Amino acid sequence: MESLIIWLGTGGLILFIILPYFLNFRRKQREDAVRREEAVRLGADKTVAQFPQVDPFACIGCASCVAACPEGEVLGIVNGKAAIINGLKCVGHGRCAEACPVGAIVVGLGDIEKRDDIPLLNKHQETSVERVFIAGELSGLALIRNAIGQGREVVEHIAQNGRRIKDPQVHDVAIVGAGPAGLTAALTAVQHNLSHIIIDQQGAGGTILHYPRKKLVMTRPVEIPLYGWLNKPEYSKEELLEIWQGIQNKFDLHLRIGDKLQNVVRNNGHYEVQTHNGVYYARNVVLALGRRGTPRKLNVPGEELSKVMYKLIDAESYQNEHLLVVGGGDSAIEAAIGLANQPGNRVTISYRKDKFFRIKRRNEQRLSEYIRSGRIQVVFNSQVICIEEKIVRLKTVKEDMHLPNDYTFIFAGGEPPFQLLKKIGIRFGGEN
């Protein structure tokens, strides 16, 4: 009788707990396989920045990494192993690697030698051009904490290994870009008594300057040299800009605003940093540029109209308008949501694919709410064919649409400054 009870208990356990779990796990694997096939077909499996690299021999397919990802849908279980489903959503948080119980995941850039979108760098972030370094997202690594870390490490290496400049006209280090990487590099220069100059087209903040008002930025604890720690899990755009502006004022960072880099040329043992406003001289150069570069245009009739914008700074300036947002990335979605929050606006998103693949989970959830409530309309599989004073013409699979329009916002990405880097002499992966 005791054996029978044990067998019945075991059978019940299998029937009511283990079997449903197994069936659900199998169903999820089939769904992930379908999602991966679709992502490969649309090119969404490819990555832009750092990404999780899975060791298939160590992976046990437990899906801990899938559950840990803050963005969702980056990873899935395919054929019993973790695999990248939507690489475009990955920004390199690294939570998947932390959650893996067997250490089967490493977050990095992969084989740089084969990537033509990543400059070749040594372990000190030095490019193929001697004493010209790269820090920040241009290196391929996203996230503010990585930018801050690289800016500090590069200048610490310069301080330990480079000789000081006695010529007052030649700086120890010229820093191009005043985002988190560039400002951290400058702070580290101050810390090590290195003379420095920061060159930027716009001002302290870098890419953050282009964010919409009140945009939240996720961070993990990171220490800024001379300033202290950023400990909060989220900061608004305004908070971060206030921090960087305060740092600039407190530590008297030498920032030149309004200078656009044109070239870096070696001359007499130092470098000439050439801008459209003049030339700066430095022993070492740190390129802390962003990857966004010049906004990519649609090249359609009417794009030259003054009502066409390539960024949204202040959504509150637009009220009671017919607005079109073109694009399917986070910048486009955040702009559409910001505009939809203003009184009287009618907001439409035009996207050339049949669904959103690249947006963060939080943006996807918010957008779904706005679509359900009718505050945002989305036209998938559509392309702008003409922009006119009062309308925009869209081409869709079924028909051409004429939408009432007061302003058009285009978020089609940017042209990274790769040609400029190649002009300087910096080599990329994938080059013969």
pLDDT digits (tens, 9 = 90+) for 258-316: 888 999 999 888 999 999 888 999 999 999 988 777 788 899 999 989 899 888 877 88
Q: Do residues 222 and 145 lie in contact, with contact meaning Cβ atoms separated by under 8 Å? A: yes
The rounded percent of the chain whose pLDDT value lies above 70 is: 83
What is the CATH classification number for the domain harbouring 357?
3.50.50.60
**Sign, Cα dihedral of 346, 352, 354, 360:** negative
Pair (139, 250) in one structural domain? yes
pLDDT band at 212 (very low <50, low <70, confident <90, very high): low
Pair (86, 149) in one structural domain? no
Pair (52, 80) in one structural domain? yes
Q: Per the domain annotation, does 431 fall within a domain?
A: no
Write the DSSP symbol of residue 126: B
For the CA atoms of 431, 182, 423, 109, the dihedral, rounded to the nearest 10 degrees, stands at 10
Look up the domain containing 19 and give its range. Answer: 2-108
Distance CA 118, CA 217 (A): 24
Convert the pLDDT of each residue in 324-337 to its tens digit. Answer: 999 998 889 989 99
What is the CATH classification number for the domain harbouring 26?
3.30.70.20
Segment 358-372 mean pLDDT:
88
Distance CA 302, CA 327 (A): 18
pLDDT of 272: 94
pLDDT of 6: 63
Pair (127, 163) in one structural domain? yes
pTM over 0.85: no
Pair (92, 229) in one structural domain? no
pLDDT of 240: 83
Run of H or E residues at 303: none
Pair (97, 122) in one structural domain? no
φ, ψ of residue 113 to 5 degrees: the values are: -60, -20
φ, ψ of residue 83 to 5 degrees: the values are: -150, 155
Pair (289, 177) in one structural domain? yes
Mode of pairing for the β-strands spanning 234-236 and 216-218: antiparallel
Q: Nearest Cα to 417, choosing from 330, 288, 299, 308?
A: 288
Which tokens sit at 203? 């001002």
Which of 71-75, 99-103, 212-216, 386-390 has the largest mean confidence? 386-390
Instruction: Domain count for the chain, please give it.
Output: 3
Convert the pLDDT of each residue in 336-346 to its tens digit. Answer: 999 999 999 99
Share the mean pLDDT of the chain.
Answer: 84
Pair (36, 177) in one structural domain? no
pLDDT band at 168 (very low <50, low <70, confident <90, very high): confident
Distance CA 221, CA 194 (A): 27
Segment 83-111 mean pLDDT:
80
Pair (88, 133) in one structural domain? no
Run of H or E residues at 77: strand 75-78
Q: Per the domain annotation, does 274 fall within a domain?
A: yes
φ, ψ of residue 363 to 5 degrees: the values are: -70, -35
